Amino acid sequence: MTKTPRRVAVVTGANRGLGKAIAHDLAAAGLHVVVTSRTEQAAQSAAEEFQREGLAASAHQLDITDPASVARTMADVGFTYGRLDVLVNNAAVAIDRGQLAAAADMEKVCATLNTNLMGAWRCCTAAIPEMKRNDYGRIVNVTTHMSTSANLGVGSVAYRTSKAALNALTRILATELQADNILVNAASPGKVDTRLAYGKADRQPSEATDTFVWLATLPDNGPSGQLFFDGKLLEW
């Protein structure tokens, strides 16, 4: 085990898109970032790119739909660095665009919930014990404006439902962990130009990271159990 004085962050789905931009900017803010991806090669490629910029980064294979992979990743990070301070649950799928609740493809629903809700939940339950060892933790769940009560419209029912459930999990965990100095929040990146984009994107991933970095580095008296967009509170 190599103890590091700097905070250590795990970002899921960090080999491309928003996850990669968040990971980069967390490293630029002085954290050691563990870049994760479903393949070791993809994670390593992104981590090496950061390293060439002089940023502290390493790679780890992680499949958030595989409980063993999740448990192994969080335990490896805790053992290797002596700490796990930040978890950004970014990895997600959007495979049911236009799908109606009354005629849903249940295989797509199950796959979406298993990734977007259960995958993030698995990561939380595996990371929290590592955070408690150092009495410090920040969990940031990447959600969407499409999951707020004002935007629960027609179409993409599995995606919307998975993220609405993730919002609920955010609040529940925040309440449970308030005595452990572990702050749990959710944030929407807006319409970002990624593979998951719905409609016309209005920003690049690098333009949507500020709120995520802010939430990942909150002071001990920072907010918890809240939903943000561009640093501003959103109505659930």
Catalytic residue positions, numbered:
159
What are the backbone angles phi and psi of residue 33, rounded to the nearest 5°?
A: -110, 130
86-89, strands of its sheet edge to edge = 57-61, 32-37, 8-11, 86-89, 137-142, 182-187, 227-229, 232-233
Is residue 133 within 8 A of residue 195, CB to CB? The reply is no
- Rounded to whole angstroms, the Cα distance separating 112 from 205 reads 22
- Rounded to whole angstroms, the Cα distance separating 97 from 113 reads 14
Is residue 227 within 8 A of residue 233, CB to CB? The reply is yes
Helix (H) or strand (E) holding 235: none
User: Helix (H, G, I), strand (E, B), or coil: what is residue 58?
Assistant: strand
What are the backbone angles phi and psi of residue 87, rounded to the nearest 5°?
A: -125, 125
DSSP code per residue over 134-167: TT-EEEEEE--GGGSGGG--SS-HHHHHHHHHHH
Helix (H) or strand (E) holding 226: none
- Rounded to whole angstroms, the Cα distance separating 168 from 140 reads 13
